[in-house]
Amino acid sequence: MKPVIVLGSGLAGYTLVRELRKLNRDIPVTLVSRDSGDYYSKPMLSNAFAQNKDATSLVLTPASEMAKQLGITLLAHTDVRAIHRHEKRLDTCSGALEYDRLILALGADPIRIPLQGDATGAVLSVNDLTDYAQLRDALGTAKSIAIMGGGLIGCEFANDLAVAGYAVTVIDPGPYPLASLMPEQAGKQLLEPLTKLGVTWRFGTAVQRIDKATSGYALTLAGGTVVHADLVLSAIGLRPRIQLARDAGINVNRGIVVNERLCTDDDSIFALGDCAEIEGRVLPFVLPVMHAGRALASILNAEETRVNFPAMPVVVKTPVHPVAVLPVARDAAGAWQVMASGQGVKMGFFDEQNKMTGFVLTGEYVGERSQMTKMLR
Ligand SMILES: Cc1cc2nc3c(=O)[nH]c(=O)nc-3n(C[C@H](O)[C@H](O)[C@H](O)COP(=O)(O)OP(=O)(O)OC[C@H]3O[C@@H](n4cnc5c(N)ncnc54)[C@H](O)[C@@H]3O)c2cc1C
């Protein structure tokens, strides 16, 4: 019997296999990953510095132990280069593999924007354990860090690195932190405590060039201002890994396109996690990955299941002023309203029928997530 082959050993790949094993221990599973296959929690990467954790100590379960626990064949450090759909075969860097069903859990790549200058190659981004190890090495003698992007990941790193004692400057084209997720009043609640922690902000602008300086780097911003830093970290977003699927003729858009059964337009090939576009939505967060993993396990076990996402608030790990947000679409009709304010703010987004369709909680209100979720209609 040919195996189910899962490509990727991130949260999506491992959640799926774990859920499948709860239902069925007999289906042969091969998990193929170009990384080590060690199991870790990716959200820890932007919270580990202040705790002085290195990459090794972030590994929760080594790959060999995962393989044993789950009863799977695990091929680590194995890059998959092509999918031959009609023969149900993969080309990998160490030979061909045949599958019965194929699961794409390939994740996403950090977005790189074109920059000028002689030090553009020095820009780091952190999307896996290897990146995190590199960041720690690079931070060895650094004192100052410029972070490109004041969104979720940028703010989390700003908090973490500022607590760890680095001088952090965040550069973002928006007017305040997390501007794509929440209204100004909530953004300012986060801005103040991070500023008190020592974070410097450059809003309404973007990095255009990065050059080597006598010490560290000189970042030239739109408008001509120059910011100096010993290290540059990019946190401007992720792009789903779709190339492997596209080359195989599988339907892709922003992500690998799947239906509510997480199936691509090839009925032997499924996708979930950061690489997938599920019914038009790319949802690069832990909770949707868990829901999709559970649903796909049932589907592979021949159960009639469809993925169904409840309201899934995103928690921003900025301990200096925590935030939980259920964002609304950029063009949603309605308005944000303050529901309470004190050491933080509680806001709801109300549509034209006065129904709450989104919310943001900061500071002292962040614990009210489940009450707010119940209020959604
Ligand atoms: C710094 C950071 C902090 C975050 N914090 C939060 C948070 O607080 N809350 C939250 O909800 N979400 C958070 N997220 C998002 C969340 O962690 C991700 O949505 C989730 O981990 C994605 O899992 P994944 O398995 O889809 O992708 P990944 O973990 O990226 O896994 C992809 C896998 O595919 C493998 N792969 C890729 N290409 C190939 C190939 N060609 N051949 C073989 N293998 C391949 C890779 O080696 C890897 O094993 C955070 C993300 C980051 C980067």
Question: What does the pLDDT average to over 294-312?
Answer: 95
Q: What is the pLDDT of residue 330?
A: 83
Q: Which residue has the CA at smallest separation from atom 2 of ligand 1?
A: 43
> Has residue 206 got a pLDDT over 80?
yes
Atom of ligand 1 nearest to the CA of 44: 3
Question: What does the pLDDT average to over 301-306?
Answer: 93
> Has residue 377 got a pLDDT over 80?
no
User: Ligand 1: which of 46, 124, 286, 318 to mutate, most ligand atoms within 8 Å of CB?
Assistant: 286
> Residue 366: pLDDT band by 50, 70, 90 thresholds?
very high
Q: Which residue has the CA at smallest separation from atom 6 of ligand 1?
A: 43
How many angstroms is it from 235 CA to the middle of ligand 1? 14
Q: What is the pLDDT of residue 159?
A: 97
How many angstroms is it from 195 CA to the middle of ligand 1? 29
The mean of the pLDDT values for the chain is 96
Q: Which residue has the CA at smallest separation from atom 26 of ligand 1?
A: 273
Atom of ligand 1 nearest to the CA of 316: 8
Q: What is the pLDDT of residue 58?
A: 97
> Residue 329: pLDDT band by 50, 70, 90 thresholds?
confident
How many angstroms is it from 82 CA to the middle of ligand 1? 21
Among the residue ranges 135-144, 167-176, 358-367, the one predicted with the least confidence is 135-144
Question: What does the pLDDT average to over 31-39?
Answer: 98
How many angstroms is it from 296 CA to the middle of ligand 1? 18
Question: What does the pLDDT average to over 215-227?
Answer: 96
How many angstroms is it from 335 CA to the middle of ligand 1? 33
Percent of the chain scoring above 90 in pLDDT: 96
Q: What is the pLDDT of residue 331?
A: 87
Residues within 6 Å of ligand 1 by CB? 7-13, 32-35, 42-43, 45-46, 79-80, 105-107, 126-127, 153, 241, 244, 273-274, 284-287, 289, 314, 317
Q: Which residue has the CA at smallest separation from atom 50 of ligand 1?
A: 43
How many angstroms is it from 39 CA to the middle of ligand 1? 11
Per residue in 73-82, pLDDT (tens digit) is 999 999 999 9
For the chain, the three-class secondary structure string (H helix, E strand, C coil) is CCCEEEECCCHHHHHHHHHHHHHCCCCCEEEECCCCCCEECHHHHHCCCCCCCCCHHHEEECHHHHHHHHCCEEECCCCEEEEECCCCEEEECCEEEECCEEEECCCEEECCCCCECCCHHHCECCCCHHHHHHHHHHCCCCCEEEEECCCHHHHHHHHHHHHCCCEEEEEECCCCCCCCCCCHHHHHHHHHHHHHCCCEEEECCCEEEEEECCCCEEEEECCCCEEEECEEEECCCEEECCHHHHHCCCCECCCEEECCCCECCCCCEEECHHHEEECCECCCCHHHHHHHHHHHHHHHCCCCCCCCCCCCCEEECCCCCCEEEECCCCCCCCEEEEEEEECEEEEEEECCCCCEEEEEEEHHHHHHHHHHHHHCC
Question: What does the pLDDT average to over 119-140?
Answer: 95
Per residue in 237-274, pLDDT (tens digit) is 999 999 999 999 999 999 999 999 999 999 999 999 99
Question: What does the pLDDT average to over 10-25?
Answer: 98
Q: What is the pLDDT of residue 297?
A: 98
How many angstroms is it from 108 CA to the middle of ligand 1? 7
The domains found in the chain, sorted by start residue, are: 4-109+238-300 (3.50.50.60), 112-234 (3.50.50.60), 322-375 (3.30.390.120)
Percent of the chain scoring above 70 in pLDDT: 100
Q: Which residue has the CA at smallest separation from atom 4 of ligand 1?
A: 43
> Residue 141: pLDDT band by 50, 70, 90 thresholds?
confident
